[in-house]
Amino acid sequence: MSLHQVASMAAVSGGHCELAIMSSVPLRATSFSFHFPVFCPSTCSPLSRSRDCHPLPLYHQNPRRRNPEKQKVLRVDCAAGQPLKVIILGAPASGKGTQCRMIVEKYGLVHISTGDILRAEVSSGTEIGNKAKEYMDNGMLVPDEIVTDMVLTRLSLPDVKERGWLLDGYPRSFSQAQSLEKANIKPDICIVLDVPDEILIDRCVGRRIDPVTRKIYHLKNLPPETDEISARLIARADDTQEKAESRLETYKRNVEAILPLYMDLLKKIDGNGPKDVVFDEVDFLFHPFHADAIKSKKLSTVEGDSVEVCTSTVSFSTQKKWRGIPTRLNNIPHSKEIREYFYNDVLEATLKAIEDKRSRLKVEINIPELNPEMDVYRIGTLMELVRTLALSFADDGKHVKVCVQGSMGEGALAGMPLQLAGSRRILEFMDWGKYGAKDTFITIGSIGAKEIDEQVDIYILVSPQNAVGNCIINDLQAMTDAAGQCPVILINPRLKDLPGSSGIMQIMGRDKRLEYASSFINCYFFRLLYYAGTQYPIMGAIRMSYSHDYELFKRIDDPSGKEKYVIIARFPLRPTIEEINDAFEGKISRRSKEKWASGLWSFFG
Ligand code: AP5
Name the pairing type of β-strands 297-300 and 563-571.
unpaired
Dihedral angle, C-alpha 513, 518, 521, 522, nearest 10 °:
110
Which segments of 57-125 does DSSP mark as H helices, in order? 58-61, 96-107, 114-124
pTM above 0.95, yes or no: no
Closest atom of ligand 1 to CA, residue 118: 23
DSSP letters spanning 447-516: SSGGG--TT-SEEEEES-BPBTTB-SHHHHHHHHHHHTTS-EEEES-B-S----TTS----TTHHHHHHH
Catalytic, out of 101, 214, 215, 236: 236
Let me know if 247 is a catalytic residue: yes
Q: Which pLDDT score is estimated for 167?
A: 97
Chain segment 480-507, per-residue pLDDT in tens: 999 999 999 999 988 776 555 555 555 5
* CA 148 to each of CA 144, 155, 568: distance values in angstroms, whole numbers, following the listed order: 6, 10, 37
d(CA 170, CA 246): 18
Chain segment 52-63, per-residue pLDDT in tens: 332 222 222 233
Chain segment 503-538, per-residue pLDDT in tens: 555 555 667 767 777 788 999 999 999 887 777 889
Q: Which pLDDT score is estimated for 508?
A: 55
Let me know if 207 is a catalytic residue: yes
Let me know if 172 is a catalytic residue: yes
Q: How far is the CA of 94 from the centre of ligand 1 (A)?
A: 7
Pocket test for ligand 1, best of 61, 116, 192, 203 (most atoms within 8 A of CB): 203
d(CA 305, CA 486): 42
More confidently predicted of 48 and 81: 81
Residue 602 β-bridge partners: 530
d(CA 16, CA 31): 18
Chain segment 354-408, per-residue pLDDT in tens: 998 999 999 999 999 998 778 888 888 999 999 999 999 998 889 999 998 877 6
Chain segment 231-272, per-residue pLDDT in tens: 999 999 889 999 999 999 999 999 988 988 888 788 888 899
Lowest mean pLDDT among 32-46, 197-211, 351-365: 32-46
- Band of residue 22 on the pLDDT scale cut at 50, 70, 90: very low
d(CA 603, CA 251): 42
Residue 192 β-bridge partners: 89, 268
Lowest mean pLDDT among 390-404, 405-419, 463-477: 405-419
Q: How far is the CA of 410 from the centre of ligand 1 (A)?
A: 72
Q: How far is the CA of 244 from the centre of ligand 1 (A)?
A: 10
Let me know if 96 is a catalytic residue: yes
- Band of residue 425 on the pLDDT scale cut at 50, 70, 90: confident
Q: Which pLDDT score is estimated for 187?
A: 93
Q: Please, what's the b/e burial string for 106-128 (b: 16 or more CB within 10 A of its CB; e: otherwise)? A: bbbbbbbbbbbbbbbbbeeebeb
Let me know if 434 is a catalytic residue: no
Q: Which pLDDT score is estimated for 412?
A: 59
- Length in residues, the chain: 605
More confidently predicted of 605 and 428: 428
Percent of the chain, pLDDT > 70? 72
Dihedral angle, C-alpha 415, 418, 424, 427, nearest 10 °:
-170
Q: Which pLDDT score is estimated for 307?
A: 32
Would you say 441 and 398 are in contact if contact means Cβ atoms under 8 Å apart? yes
DSSP letters spanning 180-239: HHHTT---SEEEEEE--HHHHHHHHHHEEE-TTT--EEETTTB--SSHHHHHH-B--TT-
More confidently predicted of 69 and 234: 234
Flag whether pLDDT at 318 surpasses 90: no
Q: Which pLDDT score is estimated for 371?
A: 86
Q: How far is the CA of 92 from the centre of ligand 1 (A)?
A: 4
Contacts of 444 (CB under 8 A, 6+ apart): 401, 402, 403, 404, 424, 427, 428, 438
Contacts of 318 (CB under 8 A, 6+ apart): 548, 549
Q: Which pLDDT score is estimated for 180?
A: 94
Chain segment 138-167, per-residue pLDDT in tens: 889 999 989 999 999 999 999 998 899 999
Q: Which pLDDT score is estimated for 76?
A: 66
Residue closest by Cα to atom 48 of ligand 1: 95
Residue closest by Cα to atom 53 of ligand 1: 275
Name the pairing type of β-strands 266-270 and 189-194.
parallel
